[in-house]
Structure 1
Amino acid sequence: MTDSVSRIPQVKVCGLTDPAQALAVAKLGVDAVGCVFFPKSPRHMTREAARTLCRVLPANVRRVGVFVDESFSQIMGVVEACGLDVVQLHGQEPPELIRRLRRQGLLVIKALFAARSPGLSDLDTYAPSGFLVECGAGKLPGGNAETWDWARARSLSDRYPLILAGGLTPENIVRAVGLAQPDAVDVSSGVEASPGNKDLRKLAALMAAIRGCRMERRLLKIF
């Protein structure tokens, strides 16, 4: 998780729902694929559907489960059923839950928000494998396609493994990465044709753009 890697941020694509599309996304060179286990999300997946999707992914692509205020037992049931490598917590989860999940050998990502709690100033409360930071002003816990002042994440990236999210598109990814200097980015709605249906041309354009990002520091491997 903390080994230095190249100066190109890693890429996680979140909110996939179709196994064939997930495999196509993996072939574009992404580092992680996220399945959303939150019933109110338009990208929500059942355990059975997510298991099918995760099984088609190559071994070098991390399988991420996104959860909102679920219990340890509920999360672990999905982890075991789907073969997840990473748990992303997008709600008001207590620090002890992160510790328990990490003791299971999982990578754990904790979301912090610019517009609501837990906020960017709360990062010392938690001890995850890395933080994901985004706006958090929309109705859903994530996936609201909200651009925000990405520069606010810059001070965090000097201290902790950092994933930048929030309204990232092929057109703005270079600017966002330049401002925040993250170790990784999380994209979803910015490369979609509709919720859960990714536009592979948009994702290919984003992947090409991110390879040209100018990084001012050595990055940490999160996924």
Structure 2
Amino acid sequence: MTVGVKICGLTEEDGVDACLRFGADWIGLNFFTRSPRYVTATRAAELANRFVGRENRPGCVGLFVDPTNEEIAAVLDTVPVDILQLYTTAERAASIGQNFQREVWLSVPVSMAADLPVETKVERLVIESRAPKDADRPGGNGETLPWDVTQGWFSPCPWILAGGLNPDNVAEAILLSGAPAVDVSSGVECSPGIKDPEAVRRFIQIARSSGKR
């Protein structure tokens, strides 16, 4: 199994270039204004221009929290987003996918096996820990979930493990969860929104190696 890797919350060129150099499968751009990794559509377009048009380029994932159609359309007018990653209801996510004709990933907060979906109308599920009660955003809080909660789960579509991952724990997370793909943001940063190229390299290398066991 080759484990897929998404590096999320890119805000600067060095981070994007590290993703390209070390072979990330997806690059995530965050359009949630309360996130420290928020980028405007104009800034996101500048970053995306560093890899759009490349052969075998990474997928461009746009992250939105309970967006209106108008908010999504404004981004898509400027940024070459391939995939919409959504924090919203399952029904709303399916509707957005149909409306914009884009692949949709639905973020699913989990604390126990009973929270894992058994059916879906989106292309991929992002499985992560529930946000703390006092959090001001639904994801990107650096919280991990019990990785073995997904053992024995028959996912209705491809899925990706997120939340609290870093180069030091990603191998164990993959081993215990059986995740076919992993998503990291703060775990490869030297400060909020600023990626550490060496941490990006290590994360991708370790995740890939873990999938070959």
Measured against the shorter chain, the TM-score band is 0.7 to 0.9
TM-score (norm 2): 0.88
Q: Give the 3-state SS of the residue equivalent to 2:100 in structure 1.
A: coil
Find out whether 1:13 has 2:10 as its counterpart: no
Offset from partner CA, 1:77-115 (integer Å, 9 cap, x none): 21231010010002x335144234245331100000114
CA shift at 1:17, angstroms? 0.2
TM-score (norm 1): 0.84
- Superposition pairs for residues 66-81 of structure 1, below 5 Å? 66-81=63-78
- Superposition pairs for residues 106-145 of structure 1, below 5 Å? 106-115=102-111, 120-124=115-119, 126-138=120-132, 139=135, 140-145=137-142
Structure 1 residue runs of 5 or longer lacking an equivalent are 1-6, 217-223
Q: Give the 3-state SS of the residue equivalent to 1:174 in structure 2.
A: helix
Structure 2 residue runs of 5 or longer lacking an equivalent are none
Find out whether 1:161 has 2:158 as its counterpart: yes
Q: Residue 204 of structure 2 is aligned with which of 207, 210, 216? A: 207
CA shift at 1:135, angstroms? 0.5
Number of aligned residue pairs: 206
Offset from partner CA, 1:146-166 (integer Å, 9 cap, x none): 122011123445442010001
Find out whether 1:26 has 2:41 as its counterpart: no
User: Residues 93 and 122 of structure 2 are in contact (CA less than 8 Å); yes or no, is this contact kept in structure 1?
Assistant: no
CA shift at 1:206, angstroms? 1.4
Find out whether 1:196 has 2:182 as its counterpart: no
How many Å separate the matches in 1 of 2:18 and 2:9?
14
User: Residues 12 and 30 of structure 1 are in contact (CA less than 8 Å); yes or no, is this contact kept in structure 2?
Assistant: yes
Q: Which moved more, 1:149-158 or 1:135-144?
A: 149-158
Offset from partner CA, 1:143-187 (integer Å, 9 cap, x none): 111122011123445442010001111111111011111221100
Match of 2:47 in 1: 53
Runs of 4+ in 1 over 6 A off after TM superposition: none
Q: Residue 179 of structure 1 is aligned with which of 176, 179, 204? A: 176
Match of 2:30 in 1: 36
Compute the RMSD of aligned alpha carbons: 2.1
How many Å separate the matches in 2 of 1:209 and 1:21?
18
Match of 2:101 in 1: 105
Match of 2:79 in 1: 82
Offset from partner CA, 1:117-148 (integer Å, 9 cap, x none): xx834453x31110001002231211111122
Match of 1:220 in 2: none
- Identical-residue share of aligned pairs (%): 31
How many Å separate the matches in 2 of 1:158 and 1:8?
18
How many Å separate the matches in 1 of 2:26 and 2:184?
11
> Structure 1 residues 94 and 209 mapped into 2: Cα distance closer, same or farther (>3 Å)?
closer
